[in-house]
Structure 1
Amino acid sequence: MSLVETALARIPQPYRDLAIKHRELVKFAFVGGTTWIIDTTVFLLLKSTVLETKPLTAKIMAVLIATIVSYVMNREWSFRTRGGREKHHEALLFFLVSGIGVGVYSAPLAVSRYLLHLQIPEVSLLTQEVADFVSGQIVGTLVGMAFRWWAFRRFVFPDENVRRQVPGATP
């Protein structure tokens, strides 16, 4: 039994049927969760060390690193049967959509810091850090993932069941 099948078997009904029906979305969400952990770890590491005074730069770098991992995982797992484009064209579109996504992901942090002035000395260090986390890691991630889900299916991997499936591989 594959990892996906094992995970699906643990989901109670009627949610299991829903997860199976939307398997591609579940995989995309799993990839998103994995890359969110990468993004968060890199963001917090950079923001607390070498980019302490540049949180927006730290966020953009973290998203870029997570995006590279996301491409590999989405192409080879989440959207493994979708395609319709030559690989180099697909990769270019993926990174273009993801580049736009960097702006979408980063916008809430920019609003928090530079429009709402939720930064020292206007607010306490704790308030700044909570605002950075909520705006950058929660709001930005949710808005960015919704945008990317739509754009990947629409532009990057537009056609269903066009890539050869490997016999015995996990769907």
Structure 2
Amino acid sequence: MTVVETVLARTPEPLRSVLVKHRELLKFAIVGGTTFLVDNGVWYFLKLSVLESKPTTAKAIAIIVATIVSYVLNREWSFRTRGGRERAHEATLFFLISGVAVVVNLIPLLISRYWLHLEVPNVSRFVQEVADFASGSIIGMLLAMVFRFWGFKKWVFPDELGERRKDGVTRIPR
């Protein structure tokens, strides 16, 4: 039984039919949860060790690592029935959309740290860490997630190319 089928089997019926209808979004959200853990794990490792004085750089590196994981999972699982482009073209579009999403993700952290000055010595270390998490991992990531889902569906894994796979027509070689 797949992850999505397991989740759907444990979901009450009124919600189950909505989730079945939006199965692709559910898969995208599961990939997002996974990459959320990767992103924050790498970010906090870097931020609390080698890049302590550069939290934005640490976040950018963490986002890049999570984006690579996201590409593999989205391509092979979330949007596997879509797409159909040559792999290099698809990857280029994916990383271009994700690059813009990195900027979207970093904007709240940049505002928090450098415009609102929510950093030591202006605030306590605890307040700084809460502000970093709220701005970088919650607000920024949610904004970037909405942008990515829209961009991936529209340009990277468009449904009109995926229809060929569903209809049993031969896949375009990759």
Same fold (TM over 0.5): yes
Name the residue aligned to 2:43: 43
For the 8 Å contact 1:31–1:70, the answer to whether it is kept is yes
Note the C-alpha offset of 1:85. 1.9
Name the residue aligned to 1:110: 110
Name the residue aligned to 1:169: none
Distance 2:120 2:114 in 1: 11
Note the C-alpha offset of 1:11. 0.5
1:162 to 136, 152, 164: 164
- Of stretches 30-39 and 82-91 in structure 1, the one that deviates more from structure 2 is 82-91
For the 8 Å contact 1:81–1:165, the answer to whether it is kept is no
Name the residue aligned to 1:121: 121
Name the residue aligned to 2:7: 7
Give the % identical residues: 60
Name the residue aligned to 1:144: 144
Q: Provide, for residues 10-66 of structure 1, a one-character-per-residue CA deviation record: whole Å limited to 9, x for no partner.
A: 001200000000000000000000000000000001000000000000000000000
For the 8 Å contact 1:94–1:152, the answer to whether it is kept is yes
Q: Under a length normalisation based on structure 1, what TM-score does the superposition of the two structures give?
A: 0.93
Distance 1:112 1:165 in 2: 49
Q: How does 1:74-113 map to 2 (within 5 A)?
A: 74-113=74-113
Does 1:153 find its partner at 2:153?
Answer: yes
RMSD over aligned Cα atoms? 1.5
For the 8 Å contact 1:83–1:162, the answer to whether it is kept is no
Name the residue aligned to 2:172: none
Match of 1:14, SS state, is: helix
Does 1:23 find its partner at 2:20?
Answer: no
Q: Which runs of 5+ in 2 are unaligned?
A: 169-174
For the 8 Å contact 1:51–1:57, the answer to whether it is kept is yes
Note the C-alpha offset of 1:165. 9.1
Q: Under a length normalisation based on structure 2, what TM-score does the superposition of the two structures give?
A: 0.91
Distance 1:165 1:10 in 2: 31
CA 1:165–1:61 in structure 2 vs 1: closer, same or farther (change >3 Å)?
farther
Q: Which runs of 5+ in 1 are unaligned?
A: 167-171
Amino acid at match of 2:165: R
Note the C-alpha offset of 1:2. 3.0
Distance 1:162 1:23 in 2: 19
CA 1:165–1:32 in structure 2 vs 1: closer, same or farther (change >3 Å)?
farther
Q: How does 1:49-68 map to 2 (within 5 A)?
A: 49-68=49-68
